[in-house]
Structure 1
Amino acid sequence: MVSPKIAVLIPCYNEALTIGTVVKDFKTFLPQADIYVYDNNSKDDTVAIAKAEGAIVRHEKRQGKANVVFKMFREIEADIYIMIDGDDTYPVDCVQEMVDQFIENNCDMLVGDRLSNNSYKKENKRAFHNFGNNLVRNLINVFFGSELKDILSGYRIFSKKFVKNYASTIKGFELETDLSIYSLHNGLAIEEYSINYRDRPEGSESKLNTFTDGFKVIKLFFNLVRLYKPLLFFGVVSAVLFIVGVLFMIVPITEYFEYKYVYKVPTLIFSIMLIIVSLLAFMTGLILDNISIIDRKNFRVRYNSTK
C-alpha cells in the first residue's frame, strides 16, 4: 500500500524564536512529511532559520493568516495537510497518533483540542482568551447543533478534498472559526484529538489582539449564521419586528375601541410598517434558505467528485 503524501503547513509572521523548534520537531516525529513555511512579511530571521532547518520556504505578501493559508491550499499538492502555527505552542510528538486517527476514521478535518484537558486554561496568560474561546464555542454549538470542544485551535489536519474545495472571503485570524462553521454547515466529518497546549516561550509575542480580533470573530460568526442559516437569522429579525409592531399597535387599537376614533395615526402607520417589514424579512429567510439547501447539495456533488 502506498503511503499518503503528507504536507505540513506553517504560516509565519515574525516567529524567529520558535520556528526552528517547530520544523525540527516535525523532522523528528513525522520525517516522511514535506514541511512548508509560508512567510507573511516577517521582519526578523524567520525565513533564514526555517531554511536552515530544511523547510520549504515560500512567501505571501498579502498580510493576514487566512491569505497565507489560502495560498498554501492552492499551491501545495498532498493527500493529507497538517496546519500548525509557528509559535511552538502545539505539541508535535503526538502528530503521528493524530494522523493515524485521521486516516482510520476517514476524517475531513481533525482538530487539535486544547480545551478538554484544561491545558489552555492553565497555560494561556492572555486575559479574556479563555472567556472568548468558551463564548465562540458555545455560540457555534448552539446555533449549529454540534458538540465541538475547541473551535479556535490552529492545529488541524485536512483531507485533500477539504483543502481543494474550501473557499472563503476572510483575511485574518477569523480563519479557524470559518473552518469550523464551514465544515459543520456542509456536513463534513470532524473529529478532535486532545492535546496539551503550552504558552509561548518568553520573548515570543502573540499577534492577536484580544478585543479587536475577538470582535472580528463574533462579527464573522453572525455573518456566517446569516449566510448558512438564513431562515433562523431572518426568522429572529422577523419575530422581533413583528412583536415591536404589535406593541406599537396596542395604543391605536385601544383608542379605536374606546373612542371609535384613532388619534395616534402616525403610531398606527409605523406599527403596520413594522409588521409588513417583518413579513418581508421572513419571506427573505425562506427564499435564502432554499438557495442554501441547493448550494449544499451542489457542494456535496462537487466534494464527492474530487479525487
Structure 2
Amino acid sequence: MTEYENVCALVPTRNEAATIGDVVGGLYDVGIESVLVVDGHSTDDTREIAEEHGARVVQQSGDGKGQAVRQGVAEIDEAYVLLLDGDMTNPPEQAPRLLDPLVSGSVDHVIGDRTADMRSGAMSKLNQVGNRLINAAFRRIHGEDYGDILSGYRAFTRDSFDRMFLSAEGFGIETEMAVECARHGIPVEVVPTTYRARPDGSETNLHPISDGARIILTLYSLAKTSNPLFYFGSIGAGFGALGAALAGYVAWDWFANGVSHEVIALVSGVSVLFGLQLLMFGLLSDLVVTLHREQTRRLERLRD
C-alpha cells in the first residue's frame, strides 16, 4: 500500500515510443502504481512499450487530446487523477508536488506552472509569447490567476472533473478545464514544475498557429457564460466603434464637401444602437450569471 494508492496517472500519447517507457517507469518510482495510457492511434511502438513497462493501455476511440482525456477519466476508478504528457517534458519525479495538495484534501485541482522552470529549448519564443498573452487574457476575462492555464501537467479529483462541462477535442482541453474551475469555484492550487525540451526522436503533436488560434477562440467563446459582460460588451464596443467611425466620416464629408451619405448615416446609427443593445444584454446576462453562482454555492453548502 502506497501513499498514492488512490491515484491513477493518465497519459495521452501519440507516437511517444522514444519516451513513454521512461514516463511510466518514473511514475512507478514515485509510488504511483496505476498508470493508464490512452493511445491516439500511434504508428510506432508506443502501446507495446507502455504495456511492457506495466501500464494499462487503451486505444483512443476518437481523435485529439481533449477526447483522449475524457475517455481516460471515464476508464479510471481511483479518486485522484494525475494528467501528464508522454514525451518527458513533464518530469514524472515531480508528481508529488501536484498530488500532495490534492491527497491532503486542501484543493480539488492542481496546476503545474511550467514557466517556473522552463529549460532551454523547451518552448519556442513564439509559443512563449502566445502563452503569456493567453494567460493574461484568462486573468482579464475570468478574474483568476492560475499561472499557466495551458499546462498539461495537472492533478484533480474525479468529483471535480465530473462537475466540468468539457467538449474540446484537441489542446483546448486545458483551457476548458481552467475556465470550468473558475466558473464553478473549484479550489485550485498552482505549484512550480520543470518544463523540459523533448528528447531527440520525439516529435511534437502541437501546431502553434492553428492550435493557438483554437485555444484563443475557445477562451473567448467560453466567456459568454462565465463573463458575459466582457463577451457581449466587447462585441458591442466593436459595433459602437464602427458606428462612431462611420458617423465621423459622414459628418466630415458633409461639412468639408457638402456631400451627404444617407445610407452610411443609417448604417452608422444602426451599428451604434446595436452596440448599445449588446452592452445592455451583457449587463443583464452578468446579473443572471452572478445570481446563478450564488444559488449554486448555496445548494453546494446544503449538500455538504
Do they superpose with TM above 0.5?
Answer: yes
Aligned-pair Cα RMSD in Å: 2.9
Determine if contact 2:89/2:195 at 8 Å carries over to the other structure: yes
Corresponding residue of 1:55: 55
Per the TM alignment, residue 25 of structure 1 is displaced from its structure 2 partner at its CA by 0.9
Q: Given the superposition, is the C-alpha separation of residues 72 and 294 from structure 1 closer, same or farther in structure 2, using an over 3 Å criterion?
A: farther
Per the TM alignment, residue 242 of structure 1 is displaced from its structure 2 partner at its CA by 2.9
Which region of structure 1 is more displaced relative to structure 2, 178-187 or 6-15?
178-187
Corresponding residue of 1:133: 131
User: Structure 2, unaligned stretches of length 5 or more?
Assistant: none
Q: SS in structure 1 opposite 2:195? A: coil
Per the TM alignment, residue 101 of structure 1 is displaced from its structure 2 partner at its CA by 2.4
Determine if contact 1:153/1:176 at 8 Å carries over to the other structure: yes
Corresponding residue to 1:283 among 277, 280, 283: 280
Query: Could you give the per-residue CA deviations for residues 128-151 of structure 1, whole angstroms, max 9, x where no partner exists?
Result: 121121111111122222233212
Which region of structure 1 is more displaced relative to structure 2, 221-230 or 164-173?
221-230
Query: Could you give the per-residue CA deviations for residues 257-286 of structure 1, whole angstroms, max 9, x where no partner exists?
Result: 9xxx99443233222211221232123323
Corresponding residue to 1:166 among 164, 167, 181: 164
Corresponding residue of 1:269: 266
Query: Could you give the per-residue CA deviations for residues 170-196 of structure 1, whole angstroms, max 9, x where no partner exists?
Result: 100111111112212222211111112
Corresponding residue of 1:38: 38
Corresponding residue of 1:16: 17
Q: Given the superposition, is the C-alpha separation of residues 243 and 201 from structure 1 closer, same or farther in structure 2, using an over 3 Å criterion?
A: closer
Corresponding residue of 1:152: 150
Q: SS in structure 2 opposite 1:181? A: helix
Residue 275 of structure 2 aligns with an amino acid whose one-letter code is S
Per the TM alignment, residue 292 of structure 1 is displaced from its structure 2 partner at its CA by 3.2
User: Structure 1, unaligned stretches of length 5 or more?
Assistant: none
In the alignment of these two chains, the number of paired residues is 301
Per the TM alignment, residue 105 of structure 1 is displaced from its structure 2 partner at its CA by 5.7
Query: Could you give the per-residue CA deviations for residues 95-133 of structure 1, whole angstroms, max 9, x where no partner exists?
Result: 22432222336212111111023x24x241535121121
Query: Could you give the per-residue CA deviations for residues 215-242 of structure 1, whole angstroms, max 9, x where no partner exists?
Result: 1111212112233211112112223323
Q: SS in structure 2 opposite 1:94? A: helix
Q: Distance in 2 between matches of 1:254 and 1:131?
A: 40
Q: Given the superposition, is the C-alpha separation of residues 207 and 295 from structure 1 closer, same or farther in structure 2, using an over 3 Å criterion?
A: farther
Determine if contact 2:113/2:190 at 8 Å carries over to the other structure: yes
Per the TM alignment, residue 291 of structure 1 is displaced from its structure 2 partner at its CA by 4.4
Corresponding residue of 2:93: 93
Corresponding residue of 1:7: 8
Between the two proteins, what is the percent identity of the paired residues?
27
Which region of structure 1 is more displaced relative to structure 2, 215-224 or 238-247?
238-247
TM-score w.r.t. the length of structure 1 is: 0.86
Residue 21 of structure 1 aligns with an amino acid whose one-letter code is D
Corresponding residue of 1:240: 238
Per the TM alignment, residue 84 of structure 1 is displaced from its structure 2 partner at its CA by 0.7
Q: Distance in 1 between matches of 2:274 and 2:141?
A: 24
Q: SS in structure 2 opposite 1:77? A: coil
Q: Given the superposition, is the C-alpha separation of residues 287 and 211 from structure 1 closer, same or farther in structure 2, using an over 3 Å criterion?
A: same
Q: Distance in 2 between matches of 1:255 and 1:43?
A: 65
Residue 284 of structure 1 aligns with an amino acid whose one-letter code is F
Determine if contact 2:229/2:285 at 8 Å carries over to the other structure: yes
